Structure formats: structure tokens, C-alpha cells
Amino acid sequence: MTREAHAFWLRSPGQGEIRPVRLPDPGGDEVRVRTRYSGVSRGTETLVFAGRVPPDQYAAMRAPFQEGDFPAPVKYGYLNVGVVEEGPDDLLGRTVFCLYPHQTGYVVPASAVVPVPDGVPPARAVLAGTVETAVNALWDAPPLVGDRVTVVGAGMVGCCVAALLARFPGVRVQLLDTDPGRARIAEALGVDFAHPDDAAGGRDLVVHASATAAGLQRSLDLLVPEGTVVELSWYGDRAVQVSLGGAFHSGRLTIRGSQVGMVAPARRGSRSYADRLALALDLLADPAFDALITGESRFADLPTVLSRLTSGALPALCHLITYDGE
């Protein structure tokens, strides 16, 4: 027995479409999930949509359930929340998160889904993959009590990092962005906001997530001697130039890359990928994260939505895709 579902595919760079998919019955160790929501991770997914993944990063950038290959045709995405309609008794009827592309339903191993805690609304749970990225970054370079920390770039990743940093005792957090409209998001997250030109200096730690050379340079400029920049930006195929003169060497500054594809070394021996994702879902019990969902559209409109997000015609942090009634 098979069932029909529908999936979003990038047919060619800049051109998306909805395609039919035939789903098999799940095996004994699998689940069939009906999607309720997915989220568009604006930074990464718009680079994929535009065909701007560098060839030497094709393997590193593969999503867990991606089909096809970069640049296209490819089925890509990793923020999916749905309901288990077939599977083991302990998962049947549960709302779950899965690192699955935009598709109305799917069959995956039961181990690939993580139950959404009762205190986390399903729509908010689409942020789990991005909060997981923020958790990993703060395992890579955790702040100390009383640290002065800046997050450069109030996009989806930067805002998730800022939201977590706001929970650290004694840590003073400033979120920077060139868009003054992001001040409202910072207020909802409980952190200070400033334009990069007006940023406070003397920072012990800076997390960079603006995906711009100017943002990375500003991050370095804000550090105290022996301070660290955690680089979370994904630049795609764009070259990045920064000045490593001035205080970079005399101040013994550090730029540390962080990427969610591996568990940070500090926790790699004691936490699995599933542990990290479950922690991210637990952290989403905080309603402050709702500020990061800045719009929603129906699944059928996703080809147009991704085109508008990529061009900048549709501004967003996380754009929610709804499936009920599709």
C-alpha cells in the first residue's frame, strides 16, 4: 500500500515547484508523519534556493533527508513538525520534530523523530533546529558568569543565541543589527539592542551571525584582549575579507568557527545528536521565542514564498509554512 504526499523541490536555482511523492507503509522501526508545520531557515535556505552552495561544500551542507544534489534539482529543508499517524505505540499520535524537508507527509526511522514537549506549541517547535545550532555554539565557546557578550546579526540564528544568552546569570547581552526594526525582537528576548556603529566595546565574547564581512570585522573590533568571536555565519560562495592587522595579533584574538553538523567537542563525549535536539525542544518552552516567527504561508505557496524571501521582497526571521487543509 502506498500513499500520496507532496514535496517542495528546487527545480533549478531560483525556481521551485511542488511535486507528488509516493509514501510506502512504514516498517516496524519506522513512523509515518503527517506534517503540520515547517519552517524556512531564511539564511541557509535562500542560499540553496539561489544556487549559491559552493561545490566544495556540497557534502557538508546535505540535510539529513535531502534528495537530489546541489545546485538542483534538490529537495532541501530541516525544520519539520508533524503528528505520527503510524508507528510504535509510544509515538502514535505524538507531535514530533524531524530534520525533514518541506513535505506534507513522510516515512522515516522512528529514531529520526523527537517528541515535542507538552509545554511547547507545535508551531514554535519548528525553531528546534535553529535553537540546536545556538546550543552547539554556546558549547563551543560558553560565556562565564558576568561576561559581556555581543551577538552581531539579529537574524534567526543570532536571535536564538541571544535568547539563550539572556538566561545566563550575570551575562550582559547586546544584540546588534543594521535594521532598527529588530529592536522589537531584542526587547521580546530580554536583551539590549544597538546599531553596530553604536555598539558597546570591551566584549569578552562576540557571536557573529550577520553573514557579512562588515559584521565579522565589527565583531573583532568589539573584543577585549584575548577575546573570542564565534563565527556562525554561512556565506555560501561569497568571499569574505577582514583586517587582521591592528589589534588582532597583539590582542591575541580568536575567531572560532561553529557548525551544527557535529556536536561541539566540549560535549561530544557525553551528548548525542538526539540529546542536543531534545534539549533545544525543552528550551522552546519559553514563549519569548514566538517573536522569531514573523510570518506564515500555506505550503502550496512555498515556491513563491522562497523566491520572495531570497530577493528580500518578503522580510522574515523564521517564516512558518502551514499544512492543515492542504
Domain assignment present for residue 238? The answer is yes
Tell me which residue of 67, 46, 43, 44 sits closest to 57, measured CA to CA.
44
β-bridge mates for residue 231, sequence order: 208, 257
Residue 265 covered by a domain: no
Domain of residue 85, residue span: 2-130+270-322
Q: Is residue 94 domain-shared with residue 59, that is, in the same domain?
A: yes
Q: Looking at the structure, tell me whether residues 110 and 8 fall in a common domain.
A: yes
Helix 128-140 vs helix 273-283: crossing angle, to nearest 10 = 110
Q: Could you tell me the pLDDT band of residue 325, with boundaries at 50, 70 and 90?
A: low
What backbone torsions phi and psi does residue 126 show, to the nearest 5 degrees?
-60, -20
124 in any annotated domain: yes
- The radius of gyration of the chain from alpha carbons, rounded to an integer in Å, stands at 20
Strand partners, 320: 39, 296
Q: pLDDT tens for residues 109-133? A: 999 999 999 999 999 999 999 999 9
pTM recorded for the entire structure:
0.92
Q: How many domains in the chain? A: 2
User: Mean pLDDT over residues 172-197, rounded?
Assistant: 97
Q: For residue range 122-165, list pLDDT tens digits in order.
A: 999 999 999 999 999 999 999 999 999 999 999 999 999 999 99
